[in-house]
Structure formats: structure tokens, C-alpha cells
Amino acid sequence: MITRNQVLVVDDEADIRELLAMTLTRMGVESHCAGSTGEALTLLAANNYDLCLTDMRLPDGDGLAVLDYVAKNQPHMPVAVITAHGSTENAVAALKAGAFDYLAKPVSLEQLRALIRSALKLPRGGAARAAAESGDKSAAGVPLLIGESPIMRQTRQMIDKLARSQAPIHLTGESGSGKELAARLIHLNGSRRDAPFVAVNCGAIPENLMESEFFGYRKGAFTGAANDRDGFFQAASSGTLFLDEVADLPLSMQVKLLRAIQEKKVRKVGATTEENVDVRIISATHRNLSDEVKNGTFRQDLYYRLNVIELRMPSLRELRDDIPQLAGRLLERQAALGRVPRLAPDAMAALQAYDFPGNVRELENILERALALAGADEITVEDLQLSTSPPTEDMEDFSGLPLQEHLENVERKAIREALEKTRYNRTAAAKLLGLSFRALRYRMQRLGIREDLND
């Protein structure tokens, strides 16, 4: 016997209840209706629903009371709230309180159906609890946030909780701390996992192309627009749009982005009509957005829209106990087709004592370089080539030379040392310096460094 999904509809307006119930019936979903908070709580106590749709304004309370009851008694059931048109504060308050998503009146049937389909894809009951407790598994083979420290466990638990919502999330943390990985995990462990995840580096798009890149354009909208083209919002349809380095957006684009998020509609460049878009927004930056708001470089209203829920990614300095496990997993991945040398005890101790200004990304680069330099079975502390000198040490050699000449001397010295450490293997030296082979060869020629170093 196939059990139909059941949804509770809570609204004091009979015509709204009828509209929602009719839509659910056409989708093959059974519905129960309540006209007040009291009726809703009675039905919730007697039934196990798969979703609750509740109005924010009710004659004997509000939708937050329904949210609160569900959070305490049925925490794995999604609740979506219906707000008055333009009531941004109510929508944000509901999302912060744990609502799955929200709809604005008058309710768009297309957006309603998309919300229902998305909510009903979430795991239920025991399956949801099992997913929340499994810190060692991830969907689609995506790399995990590795570690068993209390901070990392809390981060994984928060990611699992956020995956069960549609609320906009703002990820903060230093460069290289894993913000994009966290965004991917939120996407893959949520109801949108089968739809696209589109990552956009906001700082890499020329300002004059931003509108067409985000919203798409119609044929003939401008010179070179030979065909219709979708933008990032359309490409992420039913999925997640990850806006990395969102603080780099110019103010002119911030206005357009705010409207697209609020109205869930976009207009292609050159189009005369808008189209509905169903995407979840996750943003990130290594800068402090509240400071950008104070400085006038970031809109306050957009800040509140993006920063409904904030998740801070810890730096690697806060996860020193997790470094052995993380380093082991990174070495396994980098040496997937060859040997996997172990880290010598002194090398591991050096890694755990290092501050990692570049976080996990820097650890990955250090290990990749060490693999190129290490012996067959073991990576030594010398192979890691960790920087222990303060950045200003090179200035001790400064003797009043013109700046360009001084910088060339520093560059020449670094290349010579890298070549000596790699026994003049230019491929290994290039990796050590973080350069491509061609870039190293060009710099050697420009600086007059002969390949045999006998100049």
C-alpha cells in the first residue's frame, strides 16, 4: 500500500485554504486544514505530517507559534510560512526561527508547487536523524569536512541543519577555510541535491557584463547577442546559486540582486517580461559585510536578505587536532595513482605548530609540494618547506636600491634557493614556488639566471 504525503494547511482565510488544498490534491498530496493556531496545534499533536504550510497572521496567534511547536515536537518536519506581500521582516523572522521557506501573498502557484516538491524530498523521521548523525558520509563523493574536534563536529551539525532549510545562508571565514565546500555540502544534503549547484565568483565578472551574466539576455539585446542566453539564475533553476566574494558586487548590481531575491523573478536584458526563478542563495566572503555596510559599499537591505543565517567556517589554526586526519586524507587524494608516503613525526608536529594563513588551501599546496620532493616512504620536515621567517626579514638586505631592483634581487634569490633545494629540477622548483614550468622559465630568462646556475 502506497502512503500518500500529508500536508497541514493553516490559514484563517477560507479561500486561501481552498486554493492550497486544491493545489496539493492535484499534486497527489493529501491535505488537512486549520483556521487558527489552536486548531493547527491540535492536528499536529494527532498526526505526523510531511509538511506544514502556515500563514503568519492567525486570529489567535501567528505562524511563529506553529514553528515553535514543530521545532520542539517534530523537528524534522519542514514548515513553510505565508506572509503578506512586501512583509520582508516577517519572512526573515520566520527563516531565522527555522522555517523551511516562505511564500508571499498573493501566492504564486508555480512557486507554491516548487516549494512543496522541494520540501517533500527531505528525509523523514529516522532517516533524517541518521543523516544528521552521520558525520563520516557525504553525498555524491564530495570531499568531507574532516575532523573530530568539537568545533568541526559543531560545524558539520550546523551544515546538516541548514541543508533542511531554504533560508539564505551567508558563509564567513578566512580565505581557504572551506566556504565553497560547505556550500556544496549544504546543497547536496538538502532537497535540491538533484538540481544544479552554480558557483559564481562575484569579483571575477566585469561590471558592464554583470546583469547579462546573472539574468541572461535576449537575442539582439546588445552587440554580439546573437542568440538568447540564460544567466546564472536560470542555470541554477531548482538548485543552489553560490555567490562567492559577494562583497565585490558593485552597488548598481546589488540593487538588481536584491529585487531578484525578494521577488523570486528576473528579467533578461532586452526582455519585456519577467520570469519566475526558484533558486536557493548561499553567499560568502572573507570580508566583514557589516563593516562594508557601515562604509557604504554594501547595501544594508541586501545584507539582511543574504545574512538570514550566518555560518562561520573555522580557520585551520582552530583545528590543530584535526590536522593529522586531514593531512592523511589529502595525501591519499593527491597520491591516488601512486605511493602514499607517511608524514614523519617531526613533520606532523611542524604542521600542527604552523599557523596556516592560507588555511586548508595552503595545507593542500604544502603537501603537494612535499610529495614532489619527498623520498619513497616518508615526508620529512625539510620536504614541507614551511616558512618560519617573518615576512619583513628580507628587508634586512635592503640597501637603498630602487624598489624594482630590490624586488628583482629578492625574486632571483628565491628562484636560486628553490633550484638548489630541488637539485636543479626545474619542474619541482616551479611547484615549490607555486609557478607553472613556463612561468619559471620566463622569470629565469628575465632575471638572467642560467639553467646551470654558473653565471
Query: Which pLDDT score, from 0 to 100, does residue 445 have?
Result: 79
The answer to whether residue 261 is domain-embedded is yes
The grid cell for 188 is 547536496
Query: What does the alpha-carbon distance between residue 436 and residue 421 come to, in Å, rounded to a whole number?
Result: 17
* Dihedrals phi, psi of 392, to nearest 5 degrees: -90, 0
Q: Return the CATH number at 324.
A: 1.10.8.60
pLDDT of residue 135: 42
> What are phi and psi for residue 453, nearest 5 degrees?
60, 15
**pLDDT tens across 39-76, in order?**
999 999 999 999 999 999 999 988 999 999 999 999 88
For the chain, give the longest Cα–Cα distance.
90
Domain presence at residue 47: yes
| Same domain (yes/no): 215, 342 | no
Reported confidence tier of residue 37, pLDDT bands at 50, 70, 90: very high
pLDDT of residue 403: 59
**pLDDT class of 402 with cuts at 50, 70, 90:** low
Cβ atoms of 448 and 379 within 8 Å: the answer is no
Give me the residue label for grid cell 565546500.
181
Q: What is the CATH number of the domain that holds 152?
A: 3.40.50.300
295 — pLDDT class (breaks 50, 70, 90): very high
User: Do 267 and 163 fall within a single domain?
Assistant: yes
Nearest to 35 by CA among 50, 15, 64, 13: 13
Is residue 234 one of the residues assigned to a domain? yes
Percent of the chain with pLDDT over 70: 87
CB distance 69 to 52 below 8 Å: no
Distances (CA, A) of 294 to 112, 172, 285, 299, 352: 37, 17, 16, 9, 37
Q: How many domains does the chain have?
A: 4
Instruction: CATH number of the domain at 67, please.
Output: 3.40.50.2300
Tell me the pLDDT of the chain averaged across its residues: 86
Q: Quick check: is 20 in a domain?
A: yes
Q: Do both 197 and 50 map to the same domain?
A: no
Q: What is the pLDDT of residues 193-204, one digit of tens each?
A: 999 999 999 988
Q: Does 160 share its domain with 287?
A: yes
Dump pLDDT digits (tens) for 298-323: 999 999 999 999 999 999 999 999 99
The parent domain of residue 424 ranges over: 393-447
**Residue where one domain finishes, among candidates 120, 149, 179:** 120
- Res 222: pLDDT: 84
Residue 454 counted as domain residue: no
Q: Are 291 and 359 in a shared domain?
A: no
Residue 331 lies in a domain: yes
228 with 262, same domain: the answer is: yes
Which CATH number does the domain housing residue 409 bear? Answer: 1.10.10
Last residue of a domain, one of 384, 410, 433: 384
pLDDT of residue 126: 43
- Residue 390, pLDDT score: 42
Residue 455, in any domain of the structure? no
pLDDT in tens, 120-170: 988 765 444 444 444 444 443 445 688 999 999 999 999 999 999 999 999
Q: What is the predicted pLDDT for the residue at 86?
A: 64
Is 209 in the same domain as 295? Answer: yes
Task: Identify whether residues 168 and 290 lie together within a single domain.
Answer: yes
Measured between alpha carbons, how far is 363 from 323 in angstroms, rounded to an integer?
A: 9
325 and 294, same domain (yes or no): no
Cβ atoms of residues 120 and 100 within 8 Å: no
Q: Which residues contact 229 (CB under 8 A, 6 or more apart)?
A: 212, 216, 217
Among 312, 339, 358, identify where a domain stops: 312
- The pLDDT, as a whole number, for residue 400 is 55
**In which element (H, E) is residue 261 found?**
helix 251-263
Confidence band (pLDDT; 50, 70, 90) for 334?
Answer: confident
pLDDT at 88 over 70: yes
Q: In this model, does residue 258 exceed pLDDT 80?
A: yes
The answer to whether position 277 is within a domain reads: yes
Q: CA angle at residue 264 from 102 to 193, to 5 degrees?
A: 75
| Mean per-residue pLDDT, 259-287 | 92
Model confidence pTM above 0.95: no
Verify that 292 and 227 share a domain, yes or no: yes
> 3-state secondary structure string, 114-134?
HHHHHHCCCCCHHHHHHHHHC
Query: Do residues 154 and 300 share a domain?
Result: yes
Same domain as 116, residue 141: no
Q: For 255-260, what is the mean pLDDT?
A: 95
